[in-house]
Structures are given as structure tokens and as C-alpha cells.
Amino acid sequence: MTFSFRFSQAQHAAWVCALAVTLTAAHAQDISSERLSNPLSLSQAYAHALEMDATLRATRAQTDAVNERVEQARAQLRPRVSFNASRFHNDLDRTQPNILGQTATTPEKYYSSSQNLQVRQPLYRPALSWGVDVALAQKDDAQAMLAREIQNLGVKVLEAYLQVLLAQDQEALLRRQEQLAIQQLQSAQKRFAGGQGIRTDIDEAQARIDLLATQQLQARQSRQTALLQLQSMTQQPVESVYSLDAEALDINGFMAQTPVFWMDKAQVSSPELQAMRARVASARMDVQRAQSSHQPAIDALLHISRSVSENVTSPRSAFTNRQIGLQLDMPLYAGGAVQSAVRQAMSEQTRLEETLEAARRDLNVRVQREWRGVTESVLRTNALMRAVASADQMVVSVKRSFEAGFRTVLDVLNAEQQAQQARRDLGEARLMYVASRMRLLALVGELDEQQIQWISRWFRP
């Protein structure tokens, strides 16, 4: 496919020189801005996200709220002490027969007061005891959910970090291809001016430059979007990140084991399954608590009361009453509410048990998928390393053929593009290996701060 050439040779050469100067200045400005800004390391991004991520902070607050349920449930088993006092001004009109048998009304004004102290200690209340166990199970659920959110945050930070690197690699690839295209354009112009080249080579090189300029804009937007996503989680200004050091990354040193090994590990230590098991345990205790509503309740009771002038027949009298004993509450009939509550609790238990089984199966699938991602990324990386070496050799051969007149500028550009694309694919395969490995560790609950610190050693400014 050929394009029309509308500029004169001198105009086109001047335009190319101006474009080269502009790109060089822009590239120098990018380098200068990157040097002025401090790249964000992976460990720094994770530390900021642990402190500032809104989802994690909400989960921490929810965990603290659930932990208070344990204290509230235990408080129901402790003594309950209450005291109340009152004082009133009484305006009493007393009407009664006098000594002559006539009805007489006598007004009386006086103050009355009372004080009551009551201590209640539950002795036998099965529902309250089960309530403590339910609260403890809910606490375990909340702690497991917090651990799961921390694992997810590590994965999200890492994925956002890798997205920035992928966008940077794509932008660098396009910039390198543009530089090569400009060089090939200049070479084609020189050959055409010397009578050895053809106009088609110039048109093809120019068309490639225009296309690469458009792709660079898209790549730059992708990088900015990835940086904004990382900045949203860390709440820190992020202008650049560290690059992956291929020499520090030892893809063959990780013991991938077998998928069964990781599935068994996930069944034991996965925060997701731990949370689901805690919910099932809570549901079973809810059944016991509902069934205990049939049972009697026994409380020890201490009551001390003192009243002054509370008896209208003897307004000047005072009483002090002290009581101690037991109180029995025996439920007899509640209209079927207890049986309904038991059936409801049993249905909820069944639902959570089936949800746990579904989560277990889904976790096995995700573990196998990430395990395949790790192992296949290793194979793909090794294959792409050989592909890069072959692509570089192909570039050398195509350039020699071009110099001998057997290949065109487009052939050279395609060879260069394939070599650069192979390098980009190699870098992407390494990043995908890191992502799959970290997601695998997160599924088994082992992506902690220590692991993030270890992973950070793979990245360099």
C-alpha cells in the first residue's frame, strides 16, 4: 500500500528534522521529569495502601465493631446492678368521717421518696451462653475477612503496579520503534536522493511514523490511567515506579510443587474458607441458641428498697425492705415462634454449609488456574528469551539484505518491530509470572508484608 507524497524534497527533509528535534526535546523532558520525581517502590506503595486504602479501613472498622459483640454477649452473663430513686411533693386531700360522723376533708402536703437497689445474676440461661459462642464465631469471621482483605489489597497493589510497568514498556517500545522509523526514513531519503532508492520506501516509513505517533498517545493515556489507579489506593502522588530487574527475578527458583499441594494448603490456611467456616460454626450455634429458648431460666436476685411517706394511709411512715432469692422463668407456650426460629436457624445453617462447599470448589479452580499461570509463565519466559535472540539475528540478516538491495525499508522496519515486540512480550511474560505467583500466595493466605518486601527486591529504580 502506497501513500501520496505532497511535499517537496527540501520541505520534507526540513519537516523530518523538526520532528526529530521535537521528539528528542520531548524525550529529554520526560527523562528530566522522571529524574526529578521519586519513583515509588512496591513496598512503599503497599505500606501506603495499608494505611490509606478506604476499603481496608472500612474492614478494620467493621472488625472492631464485631469484636465488641463478644463483650456485649459476655456482659449478659455478669451481674446486672440497677438503682433508682425518686422524690415527690404530694398535695393530698383526705376525705373521711370525723368523730361526729360527718364527712370532712383535710388537706395535707408532704414529701415522699423512695430508693431501690437491685442486683440480678443469671445462674442458668443457656441462650446467653450460646450467644457468647456465636459472638466468638462472628469475631473469627471478621478477623478472617480482615486477613482476606489484606491479601486482596496486596494483589490489587501489585496488579496496579504491574499495569503501570506494562504501559511504560508499551510506551518505550513505541518510542523505540518511532526512532527506528525516523532513521529508516532518513536512510530512504538519502538513497532516493542518490538514485538508489524508490519513493515507496519513503512513503512507507512516513506512514509508519504517523501511525506510531497515534499509538504513543494511546499508550501515554494507558500509563496515566494506571498511575491514577495506583495513586487512588496509596493516596500519594505517583509519577513513576520501579522497573522489573530481570537478573534479580529468578523464575526457576520458585518451588511450584503440584496443584494438589497448593489446593491442600488453601483448604487449611485460606482466609476466605476460614471466614466461611466461622459462619457455619456461628449458624450451628444459632440453632442451639434457638432450641434453648424452650429451657427455663434461673436468676439470683437481691433487692433492697427504702420508702418514706409513700403510703397515703400513713404518710409519715418509712419502710426498708430487703429481699434475696431465686427467680424462675419457665416458657410454656409462645405461639410456635420458638419452633419457627429453630427451623429458620437450621435453614440458615444449611445455606452456609452449601456456600462453604461452593467456595471450596471455586477456590480449588482458582488455585489451579494461578498454578498454571506460574508454571506456564516460566515456560513462556524461557521460550521468549530464545525468540528475542532469534529476532535480533533476523534484524541483522534483514539489514544486510537491505544493504545488498534484496529487502526494502518496510522489511527492515518489520524486523525491528518484531524484535522489539519479542522483548516486550518477554517483559510481559515476566510480569505475568510475578502476578500469578503473588495471586497464588494470596489464595493460600501467605501474601503478607514480608512477602511484599521480598518481591520488592525484584524491582529497581
pLDDT along the chain (461 residues), means of 10: 37 40 43 54 91 92 95 94 93 81 82 93 93 94 94 92 88 82 80 76 82 88 89 88 86 80 92 95 94 92 90 78 93 89 94 95 94 91 92 89 77 81 88 91 90 89 80
**Domains, in order of start, for the chain:** 9-77+125-295+331-460 (1.20.1600.10), 79-124+296-330 (2.20.200)
Supply the pLDDT for residue 3. 34
For residues 297-333, b (16+ Cβ closer than 10 Å) or e, as one string?
A: bebeeeeeebbbbbeeeebeeeeeeeeeeeeeeeeee
How, if at all, do strands 103-124 and 297-308 pair?
A: antiparallel
Indicate the SS3 state at residue 174. helix
Supply the pLDDT for residue 37. 55
Residues paired with 81 in a beta bridge: 119
What phi, psi does 71 have (nearest 5°)? -65, -40
Question: What does the block give as the cell for 83?
Answer: 438503682
Q: Which amino acid is at 142?
A: A
Indicate the SS3 state at residue 89. strand
Distance from the Cα of residue 228 to its chain's centroid = 17
